[in-house]
Structure 1
Amino acid sequence: MNAGQIKGVKDVLALLNAGNLDAAKSLGERLLHSQNKPDLFFVMQKIALLQGNAQDAIDYGQRMLKLAPYQNEFKTAYHETINYLHQQRQFQVMSEAASWLTQSRSADGQAWNLLGISYIELGRFDEARQALERALAMMPNNKHVMSNLGNVLISMSCYGAAIDYLERALKIQPDLVPACNNLGNAYRYVGRASDAIKIYEHALKIAPDYAELIANLGVAYSQVQRYRDAIDCYDRALNLNPQLLPVYANRAEAFRLLGQLQDAIAACENTLNQHPDIQEVWLVYGNALRDASRIDEAIQAYIRALSYQNLRNTSFNSAVYTSLLFCLNYQPDLSAELIYSVYQDYNVKNGLPYKDHWRPFLNDPSLTRKLKVGYVSQSFYNHVCKHFLLPLIESHNHDNVEIYAYSNSVREDEYTGLYRNAVDHWVVTNAMSDDEMAERIRADGIDVLIDVAGHTSDNRLPVMARKPAPVSLHWLDFGYTTGLTAIDYYLTDHAGITEDCAHLFSEKLWPLDGPFFVYRPFGVHSMGDAGQLPAERNGYVTFGCLSRSIRINHKVIRIWAAILDAMPTARLIIDSGDFKDPQICEEMAARFAAYGIQRERLDIGFHTPPWDVLRNIDISLDCFPHNSGMTLIESLYMGVPFITLAGRPSVGRLGASILTGAGHPEWIADSEEEYAQKCVILAHDLPGLKHIRQNLRQELEQSQVMNEPAFARSVEAAYRQMWEIYCKGQQA
């Protein structure tokens, strides 16, 4: 540097250090007319940042580096400018500034790291991963890059890889709080909530006022059902940073999971009054309204959550659709065609985009070889599905089928061990992205792939949309079509469908000759026997329903009230987890009061396990248009008959499927009037009810519903026939 240049820069620096930014800027700009030196650009960059002029800072920094590309002080100053853009949330400008640096200094690992961070903020995760992998190749022991790479991998649902990088970062620096936070998040996503809690609590000892960390601890607490602790965390986090908007949704969800529906609804409404565009709150609001039997309002909340265009093809978008489609099935006034149209919309947005990526299969097309069969489920633990899924898997003939279980379960227990022992291959998929899981299924050479979840929580329907196996079908959970044209078949039975309902399914219907399920009770000793007919000791008949509140719509209430009106001494028990909140119980009672049914004739609440409740019921009442499921089978096993109304395929015919398989089609009604008549006629036949009470369990045990080997052979025959159709189609 010559003396004149140093003097000029020093004058600018003196004004800058004196706090006279305008004068420093003015002098610097005059000097730029005669001087084109990096030192001056370096000082001008500082002035621009202090004045909040990010674009000028970038321009000065780039001119500085063009003149002195290898001076570390200048490189560091430009890095600081990019970090300033990050702090100011100017992510697009940040990415442009970082991209320029990687092009001019391609060996600058920190430049690639900053570019990766900007892409994360912009939601450009594939590009972020590529940039951060380049950064790590240049700085292989940089804990910050590892943490950032773990963060983007979480966003891409590549949880296993994320955990590897984050654990490596923490081995280098155990007190790196951002890495602790990201690792806790990754643990949560793969179902390791207890490990997440440990790492969050460790990090909070280092940074006790880190609001995001406290909020994430709340989510982990909620995963292990410590909802009160979760709410405490959310309150602490929001006190520290009220702008953590998604936390409001988590807080309301914790109230919902506690059964405090009114608190959940109020929390959502209070938040939406101030922040009407938090899509996560609209989802929770819809779920709380749904649980409170306010179906139409719930549907509107879901539609609002889906209205945000930036959500297309995201996991949140799929979660909203899951809730919306679930809720629509319970709406009693919509046509089946209208409901199915929303499933078609789901397919357009979340299924068809993957069709261009479908690839031919290399599976051996032999018709007689052993088939590789894969089950995809999040319920390989003590979940209600165990009553149906476990007996099938344990009854498979391994001479004919080789069984793979793709487990996305959030927890493991003794039932997980039973599943694992019954299959040939156990594959844990929690840490796999949808693409990774689809590739794993292809690599395993699966011939027939079964989705067990449908549109239930934590499903892997996006994997099914990628068509990773030659033959695919949906069976069991959810009870209706997936809407995905990528899935070939829907496994059902003849009672569950009608002759003219094929247009309501995206899959081809495949009815089994017998029931579409098999049932195995667990804990029979704890269930106890059916006991005495309640009407004998009470002197009046007790009807009952143990179903979700969402199924008890205005049409159901009207018919049930008519039945009670026809039998003035009869009582009605309504008992399920949705009635933990006393106000919800009273709201339900008020709906009956509108038909003149006195409160004392209704017993509304929640008890678990349900066996003593069932011992106090003479006749169970099924709901419509969406029938109950598990509670109907449990009613039969406890000697309690139920009356069902067969309606919409297939969720409105679950009761018909169960009764047909159990050998009691006489309890199936085809109209609301017939439903009420059958209830009243059966209630007046106390000797008949007593006989049913004494014999129904044994009848069920001897029926097709509990014939595990026969059901497994029927299902295997269906798989074989589906495979033959595929192979013949390939040959053609």
Structure 2
Amino acid sequence: MDKTASSDIQTLLATAVEARKAGRLRDASDALAQALALHESTGEALPRSTAFDLGVLLHNQGRHDEALAHVSAALERRPKDFALVNLLGVTLKALGRFDEALEQFDLAAKLDPKSPSPWVNRGNVHLQRREGKPALEVFTRLARQDPRSAEYQRLLASAYRCLGELEKAQARLEASLKLDPKQVGTWREMAAVQDELGRNPDALATLERGIAALGARKDLVDAQIILLRRAGRRQDAIALLERLIKLNPGVAWLHVQMARSLAPVDRDRANTHFAEAMKLEPANTRTVTELAESLDRTRGPKEAENIAAAYDLARKRLGMGGNYLQDAKTLRGILIRNADYEASDSLGEFDALGTYWASAGEIAALHHMMGQVRTPQQRRSLVRHHRAWAERLEVLAAKTPVNRKPAPARRPKVRVGFMSSDLRDHPVAYFAVDLLTRYDKSRFEFYAYSWSTKPADAIQDRIAAGVDGFRHVPHIGDRDAAQLIADDQLDILFELGGSTDMNKLDVMAWKPAPRQASWLGYPHSAGLSTIDRILVDPFIKPGDPALLVEKPFLMPRTWVALDQPTFRPMPLVDPLTPEERNGFVTFGTMNNPYKMNAAVLETWVEVLRAVPNSKFLFVRPESAVSAFRDNLAKRFEAHGVSADRILHVGVRGAHMPHYNRMDISLDTFPQTGGTTTCETLWMGVPAITLVGEAFFERLSYSNLNNAGLPELCAFDRAGYVAKAVDLAGRTGWRGEFRRTVRERLRAHPIGNPTLFVRDFEATLLQWMDEQP
């Protein structure tokens, strides 16, 4: 026996034990890895559990890829080791490889039929995938085997909660607390269920009881802060966190919660706290992602710098490995914003992500999937994902119905509500303001509802003065907002905000009005069965009814009209085309990069190749970011167009004059421009669009037809390229268009708000004649 090797192994094992006790997990795992290597080279004895212990340490540090490699290698030597098989399943689960994880848990259950661990792990996989029914089956089995287990009762409650059966979830949580009142997770979940039932004060009281019983434990205080924010008591949450951070400045999760609390009101301070949390816990993948998201959403003079920092953090998070599912929404948005499509695609398959986001209530993530749809099947699965998102919300809303009194009989006017936090200097208001200030007050009463936390501006004041009632309530819960609307006894309610910041699409699930419709804010069916209609025109309306959940609220001509596309003074249109001034044709876009994709860029490159010496102009805040410019340059050059043919202007809010540098706008697809197309036309720049099947693929199709320009609409990629190339050769037509564009628009439906208002009113009356 090699006494030196044996002594070294024992020293390393002792070092690992001491390091683990001190919380130095990396030192502990390094010591065990050295002990295992020494065992392999010398054959010296080693405790059988060492390989398992190292796998657990790696897993607990979030080093899941290393844990996978280590445990897999150990299993080659001991393929029937129950503990290692079970740990392999746990590691695969952490990596988001759920099907493979379930296979390992099945194998572990066969190796040790008496152990509940594989079954618990299997149930947790189903919960993570938001699969309530199989999770319920697993935890029901476990609870029957051991009805005195508080943990099984809590897990059973989680399954009921996943299914939306909140009363049953609450009953199981009460049983769990009777069995063991010291379970932190049970107190927290009880509060969450009560909050979902619309009983926020009860939820806060539950957490106070838990804190009184167990002390100011992280999970309980964490939940308390979340509920304070949800109740509109953000300042109370911030004040509590300020006290806690003063006492515990080195606690990372306090800084994370402070950052989340500050983000809507002070993004710079929020970034500071996220950065402090990341410094304290650099291996925490969630903190890395949240700082990236916050930086990506920070505006102001350093926006380009913030976008670049967010992109670097997104790439860093990808390098950290592990399960990306929880972070995919943020990472995907940042990567697409910087034209890094391969990295974005690595985060997950279209349907897998859509299923997860629907079950997680992430409708904003579903919104951003529109620009990445590639097949007819994906268009239809996106509708299904929206419906799945809505079904769970409808179940929750049904648990706490609002009191909706019927409108008085023979009321002389139709009472219509418009809900949006964007009834201010915002594109939604560009299209809504004429309707809300020019409607026929002898036949209609209009009410507006805003939850905006921003100070009122001149446009909001104008709308407030124009309608019969303006309800501005910045801090209010969804159910209370629904009751506020129901108290006004509307005949019809329109939702105009969609998934954008400060809006409350969820309110529609309570159906505070007998007739409800969607317009403007969301270019897709939200999925709610409580939304009866979606406003369309003959061009936007999809040919396949399966691409809408709601029935069409069909306008006879156009779904929007406007005097001009912003409330600010508009720059003059240069009567000379950029080609006449520069000697070459300039194509371009001002569309948001989330609508771009690899196929769009390849198509634009094909247009440039067909038009000698032409250039492409990007006018976006991202154009000031080197990653965006470099990624675009690589794509253009890979398809035969040199980077010197790409022009960039990095601005936000000051883009309108730069239309005078653009000869032809090339629309994005499948998600097309909306407001951007209107701006483009107003500034005398013709736009080429590719028309698709779905609502979000037909916005520009409507705008162009209602501007008298159907010839600019293509129905396949080859036609899109051909129309762009043909238009590049029609210099005289483009010059005449620039010089006459505003008079031309006013002569067509898109530039005639008065006609739109009359059409809207007539369609409202027609709907009122139908049974609700």
Candidates 704, 709, 725, aligned match of 2:754:
709
1:542 and 1:619 in contact (8 A); partners too: yes
When residues 618 and 340 of structure 1 are mapped into structure 2, their CA distance, relative to the original with a 3 A threshold, is same
Map of 1:407 onto structure 2: 450
1:589 and 1:599 in contact (8 A); partners too: yes
Map of 1:448 onto structure 2: 492
Q: Kindly provide the amino acid, as one letter, of the partner of residue 506 in structure 1.
A: V
Matched, 1:235 2:244: no
For residue 662 of structure 1, give the secondary structure of its aligned residue in structure 2. coil
How far has the Cα of 1:627 moved from its partner?
Answer: 1.0
Question: Which whole-Å deviations, capped at 9, do the CAs of 1:297-345 have from their partners, x for residues lacking one?
Answer: 64774779988999987xxx223x3213422343234543233232232
Q: In 1, distance between residues paired with 2:372 and 2:656?
A: 26
1:534 and 1:616 in contact (8 A); partners too: yes
Question: Which whole-Å deviations, capped at 9, do the CAs of 1:535-575 have from their partners, x for residues lacking one?
Answer: 11111111111112233333323332222222112111122
Q: Kindly provide the amino acid, as one letter, of the partner of residue 463 in structure 1.
A: V
Question: Which whole-Å deviations, capped at 9, do the CAs of 1:467-526 have from their partners, x for residues lacking one?
Answer: 22110010012212112221100101111124x321210000122112101224335535
Map of 1:183 onto structure 2: 235
Q: In 1, distance between residues paired with 2:283 and 2:655?
A: 43
Q: Kindly provide the amino acid, as one letter, of the partner of residue 291 in structure 2.
A: R
Question: Which whole-Å deviations, capped at 9, do the CAs of 1:602-630 have from their partners, x for residues lacking one?
Answer: 11342341123210111111122211122
Matched, 1:463 2:507: yes
1:543 and 1:572 in contact (8 A); partners too: yes
Map of 1:248 onto structure 2: 288
Q: In 2, distance between residues paired with 1:656 and 1:128?
A: 46
Map of 1:330 onto structure 2: 372
Q: In 2, distance between residues paired with 1:118 and 1:536?
A: 67
Q: In 2, distance between residues paired with 1:423 and 1:410?
A: 20
* Higher mean C-alpha displacement, 236-245 vs 603-612: 236-245
How far has the Cα of 1:267 moved from its partner?
Answer: 2.5
Candidates 591, 611, 614, aligned match of 2:659:
614
Q: In 2, distance between residues paired with 1:372 and 1:445?
A: 8
For residue 444 of structure 1, give the secondary structure of its aligned residue in structure 2. coil
For residue 628 of structure 1, give the secondary structure of its aligned residue in structure 2. coil
Q: In 1, distance between residues paired with 2:192 and 2:357?
A: 13
Candidates 126, 130, 133, aligned match of 2:202:
130
2:191 and 2:207 in contact (8 A); partners too: no
Q: In 1, distance between residues paired with 2:678 and 2:489?
A: 36
1:117 and 1:128 in contact (8 A); partners too: no
Q: 5 Å matches for 1:109-258?
A: 124-125=194-195, 129-130=201-202, 155=227, 159-160=231-232, 163=233, 183-185=235-237, 211-219=252-260, 222-223=263-264, 226-227=267-268, 229-240=269-280, 246-257=286-297, 258=303
* Higher mean C-alpha displacement, 618-627 vs 548-557: 548-557
Candidates 624, 632, 637, aligned match of 1:588:
632
Candidates 507, 512, 517, aligned match of 2:560:
517
Candidates 569, 576, 599, aligned match of 1:532:
576
2:558 and 2:702 in contact (8 A); partners too: yes
Map of 2:536 onto structure 1: 492
Matched, 1:482 2:526: yes
Map of 1:170 onto structure 2: none
**TM-score normalized by structure 1?**
0.70
Q: In 1, distance between residues paired with 2:637 and 2:679?
A: 29
1:367 and 1:724 in contact (8 A); partners too: no
Q: In 2, distance between residues paired with 1:538 and 1:216?
A: 53
How far has the Cα of 1:199 moved from its partner?
Answer: 8.5
Question: Which whole-Å deviations, capped at 9, do the CAs of 1:376-397 have from their partners, x for residues lacking one?
Answer: 1121222222211222211222
Map of 1:646 onto structure 2: 691
Map of 2:21 onto structure 1: none
For residue 223 of structure 1, give the secondary structure of its aligned residue in structure 2. coil
How far has the Cα of 1:151 moved from its partner?
Answer: 6.8
When residues 361 and 129 of structure 1 are mapped into structure 2, their CA distance, relative to the original with a 3 A threshold, is closer
When residues 297 and 713 of structure 1 are mapped into structure 2, their CA distance, relative to the original with a 3 A threshold, is farther
When residues 355 and 714 of structure 1 are mapped into structure 2, their CA distance, relative to the original with a 3 A threshold, is farther
Q: Kindly provide the amino acid, as one letter, of the partner of residue 247 in structure 1.
A: T
Question: Which whole-Å deviations, capped at 9, do the CAs of 1:252-299 have from their partners, x for residues lacking one?
Answer: 113323455564354345446658358653332122123234557647
Which structure has the greater CA radius of gyration?
Answer: 1
Q: Kindly provide the amino acid, as one letter, of the partner of residue 159 in structure 1.
A: A
**TM-score normalized by structure 2?**
0.67
Q: Kindly provide the amino acid, as one letter, of the partner of residue 215 in structure 1.
A: V
* Higher mean C-alpha displacement, 520-529 vs 475-484: 520-529
How far has the Cα of 1:636 moved from its partner?
Answer: 1.1
Q: Kindly provide the amino acid, as one letter, of the partner of residue 331 in structure 1.
A: V
Q: In 2, distance between residues paired with 1:382 and 1:699?
A: 26
1:381 and 1:411 in contact (8 A); partners too: no
Question: Which whole-Å deviations, capped at 9, do the CAs of 1:418-467 have from their partners, x for residues lacking one?
Answer: 22222222223442222212222222212101111234344422211222
Where does structure 2 lack aligned partners over 5 or more consecutive residues?
1-149, 158-171, 210-215, 298-302
1:449 and 1:469 in contact (8 A); partners too: yes
Q: What number of residue pairs does the alignment pair up? A: 591
Question: Which whole-Å deviations, capped at 9, do the CAs of 1:661-687 have from their partners, x for residues lacking one?
Answer: 112222222222222222222221222
Q: Kindly provide the amino acid, as one letter, of the partner of residue 294 in structure 2.
A: A
Map of 2:611 onto structure 1: 567
Q: Kindly provide the amino acid, as one letter, of the partner of residue 237 in structure 1.
A: A
Map of 1:438 onto structure 2: 482
Where does structure 1 lack aligned partners over 5 or more consecutive residues?
1-84, 103-110, 138-143, 164-181, 186-195, 728-732
Q: 5 Å matches for 1:274-313?
A: 276-277=322-323, 280-294=326-340, 298=344, 301=347
When residues 312 and 604 of structure 1 are mapped into structure 2, their CA distance, relative to the original with a 3 A threshold, is closer
2:667 and 2:690 in contact (8 A); partners too: yes
Question: Which whole-Å deviations, capped at 9, do the CAs of 1:225-246 have from their partners, x for residues lacking one?
Answer: 744x543322223444668764
2:563 and 2:752 in contact (8 A); partners too: no
For residue 402 of structure 1, give the secondary structure of its aligned residue in structure 2. strand
When residues 411 and 128 of structure 1 are mapped into structure 2, their CA distance, relative to the original with a 3 A threshold, is closer
Identity among equivalent positions (%) equals: 22
Q: In 2, distance between residues paired with 1:367 and 1:719?
A: 17
1:561 and 1:595 in contact (8 A); partners too: yes
1:533 and 1:690 in contact (8 A); partners too: yes
Map of 1:472 onto structure 2: 516
Q: Kindly provide the amino acid, as one letter, of the partner of residue 576 in structure 2.
A: Q
Map of 1:390 onto structure 2: 433
Q: Kindly provide the amino acid, as one letter, of the partner of residue 626 in structure 1.
A: Q
Q: In 2, distance between residues paired with 1:478 and 1:620?
A: 23
Q: 5 Å matches for 1:671-690?
A: 671-690=716-735
For residue 484 of structure 1, give the secondary structure of its aligned residue in structure 2. coil
The Cα RMSD (Å) is 4.3
When residues 101 and 638 of structure 1 are mapped into structure 2, their CA distance, relative to the original with a 3 A threshold, is closer
2:479 and 2:507 in contact (8 A); partners too: yes
When residues 424 and 301 of structure 1 are mapped into structure 2, their CA distance, relative to the original with a 3 A threshold, is farther
